[in-house]
Amino acid sequence: MIYTVTFNPALDYVVWLDSLLPGRINRARREAVQYGGKGINVSTVLHNLGVDNVALGFLAGFTGRALEEGLREAGLRTDFIWLPQGLTRINVKVKGRDETEINGQGPAIGRRELLALQDKLDRLASGDFLILSGSVPDALSQDAYEQILARLEDRGIQFVVDAAGPLLRSTLPYHPFLIKPNRLELEELLGERLEDGDALHRGAARLRELGARNVLVSLAEKGSLLLDEAGGCRQLPAPRGTVRNSVGAGDAMVAGFLAGWLESGDYGYAQRLGTAAGSATAFTDGLATGKEILDLLRQL
């Protein structure tokens, strides 16, 4: 089974404007509510590709109830922990000539709730996949992911980590099956600019030396770079299309890669499906459907 963990889920309130005028009343041309948080995005795209999984995380208040009901109506399996106070955050995504985001802070997570998450994760078995995605609330330690991996080490669980900075770096000694930094996150981890393909290759190789088994670097309109544990190195260009959305594209790439690997055991196919999933999401107003991903896969 695949499990995703989202520490800070969100209701994304998305509005499309013809123009944004600060200090004035702005009227939306269109609006939508989407169910967000990086791990939840991964769960949704896995579900869209027909891959069973369970979404874990923390919810609170009436916004949390709306998020959970929406995911269940969409057919996703969930097993959230409820917080006694606060509200699951609402993020405002403004789509116009440029994209503007206002992300909520989210509720506080207490020690009791963290222990409840540990209890759920202790039930994972050998062969299960655990996907840790995104940031953690400011009140939590930046080694929160490391603590989870240390507790589950040597249990035969495959770890996937999509995070940035110290949160990601601290997990590398536990040999995650997959990490997926983007170019900027890779540069920040290494403390240097990576100007060309050779530099990107050396940067990804450095993360493999530090412990990651497979390093998938998302490169936006330039596709992806994969260094796999079998010694392969592939840079795959992105398919052609009009970018309409940047939210969730990296999460979709993680979901597509894992779905492709589970289907075929082939890293090349996993990278193609991951790149198709990320691009298909970038070409739509939300997370891509399975049909949209498979249609785009045929271009690769």
Which two structure tokens, joined as six digits, stand for 164?
């940035």
Which two structure tokens, joined as six digits, stand for 107?
């509720």
Backbone angles phi, psi at 267, to 5 degrees: -70, -35
Tell me the pairing of strands 89-95 and 99-102: antiparallel
By 3-state DSSP, what share of the chain in percent is helix, strand and coil, each rounded to 5? 40, 20, 40
Q: Which of 231, 238, 199, 190 is nearest to 213 (CA)?
A: 231
Catalytic residue chosen out of the listed positions 18, 251, 266, 295: 251
Backbone angles phi, psi at 169, to 5 degrees: -55, -40
- Residue 143 designated active-site: no
Question: CA angle, corner 203, sides to 178 and 175, nearest 5?
Answer: 30
Residues marked as catalytic:
251
